[in-house]
A and B are shown apart, each in its own frame.
Chain A
Amino acid sequence: MALIEAKSLRKVYGDEGAETIAVEDVSLEINAGEFVAIMGPSGSGKSTLLHILGFLDRYTSGTYIFDGKEMSEYSEDELAHIRNNKMGFVFQAFNLLPRATVLDNVKLPLLYSDIPEEQWSDMAIKAIQTVKLGHRTNHQAYQLSGGEKQRVAIARALILSPQVIFADEPTGNLDSKSGQAVMETIQRLNEEQGHTIILITHELHTAEHAERILTILDGRIDSNKKVAQRRRTTDVFEK
C-alpha cells in the first residue's frame, strides 16, 4: 500500500461568490522511499497541494490517506504528532529561529516529541553532521549563509527520521552552488537513508533529481512522468 494516497482532492479558498480553486481533482499515490518532484508555474497550486499532503492545511473535498488512515479521522493533536515524528518540512524561507543556535534550531522538533531530553543533543549533532555543518553547531542561525541555513532546516527536518520529507522550493532562495549542496543533501537522504522525498520546484534541473515529476497546472495534475535520466549532484562539499 502506498504511503500517500489522495483521491479527487479539491481545495477552495475564500467565501462563497469569491472562491478561488487552488487544487482541483488531484489524485496521486506516492510510495515509501520514493523521490517525487512537483513542478508548476507560480499560482498553479503546487504549494497548496504540498501543504495538504503535509497536514498543514485541510482540503475541501476528496480523500487523503496517509499511512493507512484518512486525514479527517485524525484529531488536531494526532495531526501535530504525525507532523512531528512522521513528516519533515523544509521551506523556501528556511524558517529558522534567528537568535537560536544551530543546535537549538535542529532540536526544535524534539521539544514536541516523546524522546527523553538526555538524547536530544546527540541526535541533533548527528543530524547536523549529516548535513555537513558540524563546524557551525554553536553558531546562531542568523550568522549563517543561505545555503547553510537551508541545510540546518534539512537537519531539523530529518532529526526524528520521518517517513517523508516535504521540501517547498528548498533551493529557491539560494545561489546555484548552495542549491547544489542542498540538493546533494536531499538526494543522499533519499538514496542512503531511504527517506521519502516530496519536493516542489520550478526548476527542471532541480526536479530531475527525482524519480518522478508531477506537473501541476491550474490546480490539476497536468502530467506524471518518470525521469528517464536522473540528475545527480555529487562532490559539492569536496570542491
Chain B
Amino acid sequence: MKLRQLAKTATAGLATNRSRSFLTILGIVIGITAIIIVMSLGQGAQGLILGEIQSIGSRVIGIVPGRQPTSPTDFLSTFTDSLKKSDLVALQNKSNVPHGATVMPVVFGSEAASWQTNTYQATLLGTTELFGDVYNVTTDEGEMFGADDVTGLASVVVIGKTVEQKLFDGGSAIGEKVRIKNHTFRVVGVLKSTGQLSFLNFDEAVFMPYTTAQTYIFGINYFNRMVVEADSVSTVNETADDIKATLRNDHGIIDPSKDDFFIQTQESAMQTVSTILNVLTLFLASVAAVSLVVGGIGIMNIMLVSVTERTREIGLRKALGATDSNILSQFLLEAVILTAIGGVIGIALGGFVSFLVAFVLSHAYGLNWQFVLPWSAVALGLGVSSGIGLIFGIYPARQAAKKSPIEALRYE
C-alpha cells in the first residue's frame, strides 16, 4: 500500500468527523502556538539587547574592578577599589598595550544637580575628554571639556539634553552654573540627544572630568570602571590579553584565578546575554511543551474512541485484505496528520501573534524590535507536533491493528 493511498484513506477517515478532528487538534494548536510565541519573542528580545550592546562599539573593552560575579547574588564582588591611577598610567604605556588607542577611566554615581530652584537627579559620569569619541556622541551647543580640564580638576560639566530641559526650563545652559554636592560647576557643553544607548541614557547624564568627580563629588581615589578602545576590531582579543597582563603585573597577581578585575568585551557581553536569554527561552518553551503532552493525551483518547467506533470498518478492511500493518499505518497516519495540522496552525497562529507583538512594541513603544520567526522554531513545532502524533497514536493504532477480523465485523 503506497503512502499516497494511505494518506488518502487517513484523511478520508478524519474528514468524516471534522468537528471532532478540529477539537482534538486544539490542544496541539495551543501548545505549538505558545512555543512559537516564546521562541519568536525570545529572538526578538535577544536582537534588541544585542543591538544595544553593539551600539557600544565593537572595539571597546571594559575593565571592571573586582572578580567576575559567579552568581546573580555575587554583585558585592564588583564594589572594590582595585583600579587606580597607576593602572591608568600602565595601560596608557604603549609598550604594555600597543593596540590600545584610547584608555579612559570612569567614575559614576547618581547625584542631584540644581540650578536656581530646579533640581534634577542625574547620572553623574566622571571621564576624560575622550568619552565623546568612544561613545560616538557630540555636543549640540558649546563644547566638550578638554584634557587640561582633566589634569586641572576644572569645575566644568557637559550635560545631556534632558538635564538641560529639566534644569533650565527650555533656556540655554551654556555658561550657567549648576550645583552638585555643594560645589559649583560651569556648563560648557550640551550633548546632542541620543536616547537610550547601551543601558545608559546620555540625555539624562552629567559628564565632568574624572579627577573633578573623584575629588569634589565622590571623594575616592579609584575608578569604577575603565574603558580601553582597541585600534581595530581584529586586535580586540590581543588588547584584552595585554590589559590582563599589565594589570596583573601592576597588582602583583601571579595566579589568574586571583584577579581583582575582569575584562568585558562586546563579544563576551553578547555571549553572556545570549546564553541567559537562550536559557530563559528554553525554560519558557518547555513550560509551553507541557501543554503539548496534554494535547497528546487528548489525541490518544480520541483515537481510542475512533478505533472503537470504527471497529466494524477495521474488520471489513481486514476481511478485504488489509494486513495488520496496513491498519496500523492508517490509524497512526491519522494521528500524525491531526497533530501535524495542529502544528501548522500553531506555527501560523504563533507567528501572527508574535508579529502583532513586534508591531506594537516597535510602533507604539518605539523599540528597535524586529519580528523574527526562527526556522528552528518552525522545524521544532512541526517535529514536535508530528512526534506527538506518532507517540500518542501508536497505542490506539496497535489496538486497531490487532483486532481479529471476524470479531471486529461482529462488533455492534
Q: Is the pairing of A and B real? A: yes
B315 to chain A: closest residue by CB:
A95
> Is A81 interfacial (CB 8 A cutoff)?
yes
Chain A positions 199 through 220: 1 when the CB is less than 8 Å from some CB of chain B, otherwise 0: 0000000000000000000000
Nearest-Cβ distance from residue B195 to partner chain A, whole angstroms: 64
Could you tell me if A112 and B322 are in contact, using CB atoms closer than 8 angstroms? yes
Query: A233: shortest Cβ distance to chain B, in Å?
Result: 27
Contact A57 B317 (CB under 8 A): no
Shortest distance from the beta carbon of B306 to any chain A beta carbon, whole Å = 14
Q: Is B406 an interface position by the 8 A CB rule?
A: yes
Contact status A84-B321, CB under 8 Å: yes
A2 close to chain B: CB less than 8 A: no
Provide the bound-state CA to CA distance between A99 and B313, in Å. Answer: 12
Q: Which residues of chain B from 311 to 333 have any CB-CB distance to chain A below 8 Å in the complex?
A: 312-313, 315-326
Given known A-B contacts A95-B316, A100-B12, A109 and B321 have beta carbons under 8 A apart = yes
Interface SS of B by simple majority = helix
C-alpha spacing A128/B5, complex, angstroms: 21
Q: Indicate if B16 sits at the interface (CB-CB under 8 A).
A: yes
Whether the Cβ atoms of A108 and B16 lie closer than 8 Å is no
Taking the complex as formed, is A72 at the interface, i.e. its CB lies under 8 A from any CB of chain B? Answer: no
Residues of A within 8 A of B323 (CB): 76-77, 80-81, 112
Q: Which of chain B's residues 1-19 have a Cβ closer than 8 Å to chain A?
A: 1-2, 5, 9, 12, 16
The residue in chain A whose Cβ has the minimal distance to the Cβ of B310 is A97
Cβ contacts under 8 Å, A196 to chain B = none
Selected contact of B318 from candidates A80, A85, A100, A156, CB within 8 Å? A80
Give the size range of B's interface with the partner. Answer: 20 to 34
Tell me the complex Cα distance, A117–B322, Å: 16
Choose among A56, A76, A111 the residue that contacts B9 (Cβ–Cβ < 8 A): A111
Q: Say yes or no: A85 contacts B313, CB within 8 Å.
A: no
Q: Which of A51, A100, A109, A111 has the most CB of B within 10 A?
A: A111
B370-412 toward A: CB 8 Å interface, digit per residue (1/0)? 0000000000000000000000000000000000111001000
B320 contacts A84, C-beta separation under 8 Å:
yes
A52-71 vs B: 1/0 string, CB under 8 Å?
Answer: 00101100000000000000
Q: Contact mask A176-217 → B, CB, 8 Å, 1/0?
A: 000000000000000000000000000000000000000000
Which chain A residues border B322 with CB–CB below 8 Å? Answer: 80, 84, 111-112
Q: Does A91 contact B (CB under 8 A)?
A: yes
Is A83 an interface residue when CB atoms closer than 8 A count as contact?
yes
In the assembly, what is the distance between CA of A111 and CA of B319, in Å? 13
Residues on B with beta carbons closer than 8 Å to the beta carbon of A51: 406
Flag if A57 contacts B406 (CB, 8 Å). yes
Inter-chain contacts of B320 with A (CB < 8 A)? 83-84, 89, 108-109, 112, 156
Question: CB of A129 within 8 A of chain B?
Answer: no
Q: In the complex, which residues of chain A have a beta carbon less than 8 angstroms from the beta carbon of B5?
A: 111, 117
Query: Residue of A at shortest CB range from B405?
Result: A56
Q: Which chain A residues lie closer than 8 Å to B315 at the CB level?
A: 95
Chain B residue at smallest Cβ distance from A160: B321
Question: CB-CB contacts of A16-38 with B at 8 A, as 1s and 0s?
Answer: 00000000000000000000000
A113 interface residue, CB < 8 Å from B? yes
Closest to A156 in B: B320
Is the Cβ of A111 less than 8 Å from the Cβ of B406? no
Considering only CB atoms, which chain A residue lies closest to B408 in the complex?
A56
Q: Is the CB of A108 within 8 A of B404?
A: no
Residues of A within 8 A of B326 (CB): 80, 112
Kindly state the separation between the CA atoms of A112 and B2 in the bound complex, as whole angstroms. 9
Q: Per-position contact with A for B326-352: 1 when CB-CB < 8 Å, else 0?
A: 100000000000000000000000000
Q: Are A81 and B316 in contact (CB under 8 A)?
A: no
0/1 interface trace, chain A 89-120, chain B, CB 8 Å (1 if under): 10100010101100000001101110001000
Q: How far is the CA of A51 from the CA of B405 in the complex (A)?
A: 10
Q: How far is the CA of A85 from the CA of B405 in the complex (A)?
A: 16
B313 near A97 with CB under 8 A, answer yes
Residue of chain B at shortest CB distance from A116: B2
**Is there contact, CB below 8 Å, between B321 and A85?**
yes
Do the beta carbons of A111 and B1 come within 8 Å of each other?
yes
Picked from B313, B319, B409, the residue with its CB within 8 Å of the CB of A83 is: B319
Measured between beta carbons, the chain B residues less than 8 angstroms from A108 are 316-317, 320
Query: What residues of B have a CB within 8 angstroms of the CB of A80 in the complex?
Result: 318, 321-324, 326
A54 to chain B, nearest CB (A): 8
- Interface positions, chain B 115-136, Cβ under 8 Å from A, are none
A117 to B5, CA, bound (A): 9
Q: Which residues of B contact A97 (CB under 8 A)?
A: 313, 316
Please give me the residue from chain B that is nearest to A109 by CB atom: B320
Query: Would you give the 0/1 interface string for B260-303, flagging 1 where the beta carbon is closer than 8 Å to chain A?
Result: 00000000000000000000000000000000000000000000
The residue in chain A whose Cβ has the minimal distance to the Cβ of B2 is: A117
Kindly report which residue of chain B lies nearest to residue A112, judged by CB atoms: B321
Considering the complex of A and B, which 6 residue pairs feature the smallest CB-CB distances, nearest first?
Answer: A84-B321, A112-B321, A56-B406, A80-B323, A109-B320, A57-B406
Residues of B that sit less than 8 Å from A by CB: 1-2, 5, 9, 12, 16, 312-313, 315-326, 404-406, 409
11 example contacts (A-B, Cβ-Cβ < 8 A) are as follows A56-B319, A57-B405, A77-B324, A80-B321, A80-B323, A84-B320, A108-B320, A111-B9, A112-B320, A112-B326, A117-B5
